[in-house]
């Protein structure tokens, strides 16, 4: 058909993964990928309303694409994602040159809707909720065009049942729906067979994975109230949760199943909610070698008063207790977090408590944000308690310094160590330098001898020689043979290291 597409993604990892799915669907329909958005026959903007200024970014981009559309009226513009879900008809009211608007519950219809618009004109399709039948067909059945051959996201649940007052996700993504356990295991197995060695399990609150499955299984429970075994998880019977007569699989079961899969060497996940971080998850992290030593545990605030106003469901002390338990159980654990500064009503005392918790937590890294109201959230209605912007900026800077201090110390402690690094590609700043990530999710820039150009996804041993707050630097010590798609755990354990000097 000779048509091309390009996607610009504005949001989080969920959005990135949805973009991979949209790309997979379009390529399945015969489209080829264009490298420049403005030159594509189908231009998709996949939006997010969690990030700041999402509206401005979307409508600014649409303003620029108006001229493209005027020059090439046959080109199609599609707007997808959270902001499309929230704004619905408003997208076309503000930008009449948009051809397709679809939301978070019907990503799987992307190609059909684009085709419909090509034949019949503009279409807006926003569903108010995910139809469970669609979900069952949706994530694993959809083709995906992954950005990296060796690394893949696996969505384990969509939506969120919490009600954090700053967050728009429950409104735009709907209630939590977990994917069936067996389907996820099959997907991880297929990914491993295709050469993926690193997976990231994605969900808004991964630790509550399976809660809704328990509810739906109750209908099929036997007279004793025990979970009935169904077809797709039958292979897992006798191993863990059905044998334990639990009504639901836990996230920990998923970690263990994914981590034991032949060919999978790194399992990551994001994000557990601190209130739901269960001992079983920590135990799986400690006991399954493939689960990486990295925990992203969003704090949001160190003040109990602010945490209450955010409706986060934990206190600072409870958060720290769980963090201590994770650190005690998981050797060499790296911890990252999210913190919001200047939430409505945050006093200087509240903020100092955040500084204290951040210092005690000794974060390896943190995403810190100045509060900005998201229309449609409870916090956006707290205008009488908004913190003056200049106060928030000053607090943000103080917090940044605390985080930077602990990040730098954590990274400096790695100097002299040999780290396992998965190569991601050349550095953006200097193509002669390679970049990769450690198991603890730290970025490493390392030099390798001239003529040696290891492929992305190659596992290497790198000696750390220097550290900054946000990255490490090192020298390549050895690289491994690229893993074969059919590698087994035992063959990987006996993997061949190629000393760099001999290459």
Residues found near ligand SF4 in the complex (CB under 6 A): 160, 162, 164, 167, 169-170, 204-205, 273
Beta-sheet pairing, 497-499 with 471-480: antiparallel
Q: Of the two residues 92 and 179, which places its CB atom closer to ligand SF4 in the complex?
A: 179
Contact 362, 406 (CB under 8 A): yes
Query: What is the C-alpha to C-alpha distance for residues 61 and 97, in angstroms, rounded to an integer?
Result: 12
SS3 367: strand
Q: Of the two residues 170 and 289, which places its CB atom closer to ligand SF4 in the complex?
A: 170
Q: Of the two residues 78 and 160, which places its CB atom closer to ligand SF4 in the complex?
A: 160
Query: What is the C-alpha to C-alpha distance for residues 191 and 151, in angstroms, rounded to an integer?
Result: 9
What is the nearest approach in angstroms of ligand SF4 to the Cβ of residue 479?
A: 38
Q: What is the four-CA torsion angle of 165, 171, 172, 175, rounded to 10 degrees?
A: 110
What is the nearest approach in angstroms of ligand SF4 to the Cβ of residue 167?
A: 3
Query: What is the C-alpha to C-alpha distance for residues 22 and 19, in angstroms, rounded to an integer?
Result: 5
Q: For residue 2, how many other CB atoms are within 10 A of its CB?
A: 7
Q: Is 2 left (phi over 0), alpha (psi -120 to 50) or beta?
A: left
What is the nearest approach in angstroms of ligand SF4 to the Cβ of residue 339?
A: 12
Query: What is the C-alpha to C-alpha distance for residues 441 and 307, in angstroms, rounded to an integer?
Result: 27
Cβ-proximal residues to 148 (8 Å cutoff; 6+ apart), any chain = 424, 456, 457
What is the nearest approach in angstroms of ligand SF4 to the Cβ of residue 298?
A: 7
What is the nearest approach in angstroms of ligand SF4 to the Cβ of residue 162?
A: 4
The first and second tokens of residue 82, run together, are 């959270």
Q: Of the two residues 40 and 164, which places its CB atom closer to ligand SF4 in the complex?
A: 164
What is the nearest approach in angstroms of ligand SF4 to the Cβ of residue 203?
A: 9
**271 upstream amide cis, omega within 30 of 0:** yes
Q: For residue 47, how many other CB atoms are within 10 A of its CB?
A: 28
Query: What is the C-alpha to C-alpha distance for residues 145 and 27, in angstroms, rounded to an integer?
Result: 8
What is the nearest approach in angstroms of ligand SF4 to the Cβ of residue 202?
A: 12
Q: Of the two residues 208 and 411, which places its CB atom closer to ligand SF4 in the complex?
A: 208
What is the nearest approach in angstroms of ligand SF4 to the Cβ of residue 175?
A: 10
What is the nearest approach in angstroms of ligand SF4 to the Cβ of residue 297?
A: 12
What is the nearest approach in angstroms of ligand SF4 to the Cβ of residue 204?
A: 4
How is residue 378 annotated by DSSP? Answer: S
Query: What is the C-alpha to C-alpha distance for residues 184 and 182, in angstroms, rounded to an integer?
Result: 5
Q: Of the two residues 108 and 273, which places its CB atom closer to ligand SF4 in the complex?
A: 273
Burial of 107 (0-12, 13-18, 19+ CB in 10 A): buried
Contact 457, 420 (CB under 8 A): no
The first and second tokens of residue 467, run together, are 């550290």
Q: Of the two residues 76 and 177, which places its CB atom closer to ligand SF4 in the complex?
A: 177
Query: What is the C-alpha to C-alpha distance for residues 201 and 181, in angstroms, rounded to an integer?
Result: 12
What is the nearest approach in angstroms of ligand SF4 to the Cβ of residue 273?
A: 5
What is the nearest approach in angstroms of ligand SF4 to the Cβ of residue 103?
A: 16
The first and second tokens of residue 413, run together, are 């402690």
The first and second tokens of residue 340, run together, are 């919001």
Q: Of the two residues 175 and 279, which places its CB atom closer to ligand SF4 in the complex?
A: 175
Q: Of the two residues 205 and 242, which places its CB atom closer to ligand SF4 in the complex?
A: 205
Contact 488, 476 (CB under 8 A): no
Q: Of the two residues 166 and 386, which places its CB atom closer to ligand SF4 in the complex?
A: 166
Q: Of the two residues 338 and 412, which places its CB atom closer to ligand SF4 in the complex?
A: 338
Q: Of the two residues 167 and 361, which places its CB atom closer to ligand SF4 in the complex?
A: 167
Contact 75, 69 (CB under 8 A): yes
Query: What is the C-alpha to C-alpha distance for residues 84 and 63, in angstroms, rounded to an integer?
Result: 16
Residue closest to 229 by CA, chosen among 184, 181, 197: 181
């Amino acid at each position: 058909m000779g048509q091309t597409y390009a996607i610009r993604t504005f949001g989080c990892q969920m959005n990135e993964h949805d973009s991979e799915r949209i790309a997979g669907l379009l390529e399945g329909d015969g489209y080829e990928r264009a490298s420049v958005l403005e030159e594509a026959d189908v231009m998709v903007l996949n939006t997010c309303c969690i990030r700041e200024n999402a509206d401005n970014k979307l409508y600014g981009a649409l303003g620029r694409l108006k001229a493209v559309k005027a020059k090439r009226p046959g080109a199609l513009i599609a707007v997808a994602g959270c902001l499309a879900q929230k704004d619905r008809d408003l997208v076309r009211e503000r930008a009449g040159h948009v051809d397709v608007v679809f939301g978070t519950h019907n990503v799987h219809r992307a190609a059909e809707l684009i085709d419909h618009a090509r034949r019949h004109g503009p279409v807006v399709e926003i569903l108010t909720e995910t139809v469970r039948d669609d979900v069952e067909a949706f994530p694993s059945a959809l083709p995906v065009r992954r950005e990296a051959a060796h690394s893949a996201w696996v969505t384990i649940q969509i939506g969120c049942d919490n009600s954090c007052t700053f967050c728009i996700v429950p409104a735009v993504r709907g209630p939590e729906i977990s994917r069936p356990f067996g389907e996820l295991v099959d997907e991880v197995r297929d990914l491993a067979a295709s050469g993926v060695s690193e997976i990231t399990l994605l969900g808004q609150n991964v630790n509550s994975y399976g809660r809704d499955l328990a509810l739906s299984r109750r209908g099929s429970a036997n007279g004793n109230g025990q979970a009935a075994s169904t077809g797709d998880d039958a292979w897992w019977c006798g191993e863990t949760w059905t044998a334990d007569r639990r009504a639901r699989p836990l996230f920990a079961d998923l970690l263990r199943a994914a981590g034991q899969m032949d060919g999978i060497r790194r399992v990551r996940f994001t994000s557990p909610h601190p209130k739901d971080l269960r001992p079983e998850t920590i135990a799986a992290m400690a006991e399954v070698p493939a689960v990486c030593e990295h925990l992203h545990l969003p704090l949001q605030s160190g003040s109990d008063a602010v945490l209450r106003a955010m409706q986060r469901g934990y206190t600072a002390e409870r958060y720290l207790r769980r963090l201590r338990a994770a650190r005690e159980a998981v050797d060499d654990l790296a911890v990252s977090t999210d913190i919001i500064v200047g939430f409505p009503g945050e006093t200087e005392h509240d903020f100092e408590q955040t500084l204290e918790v951040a210092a005690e937590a000794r974060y390896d890294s943190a995403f810190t944000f100045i509060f900005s109201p998201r229309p449609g959230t409870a916090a956006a209605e707290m205008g009488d308690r908004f913190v003056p912007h200049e106060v928030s900026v000053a607090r943000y800077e103080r917090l940044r310094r605390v985080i930077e201090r602990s990040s730098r110390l954590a990274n400096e402690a790695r100097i002299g160590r040999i780290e396992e690094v998965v190569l991601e590609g050349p550095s953006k700043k200097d193509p002669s330098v390679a970049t990769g990530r450690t198991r603890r999710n730290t970025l490493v820039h390392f030099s390798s001898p001239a003529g040696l150009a290891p492929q992305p996804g190659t596992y290497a041993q790198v000696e750390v020689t220097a550290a900054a707050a946000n990255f490490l630097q090192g020298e390549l010590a050895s690289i491994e043979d690229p893993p074969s798609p059919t590698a087994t755990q035992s063959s990987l354990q006996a993997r061949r290291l190629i000393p760099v000097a001999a290459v």
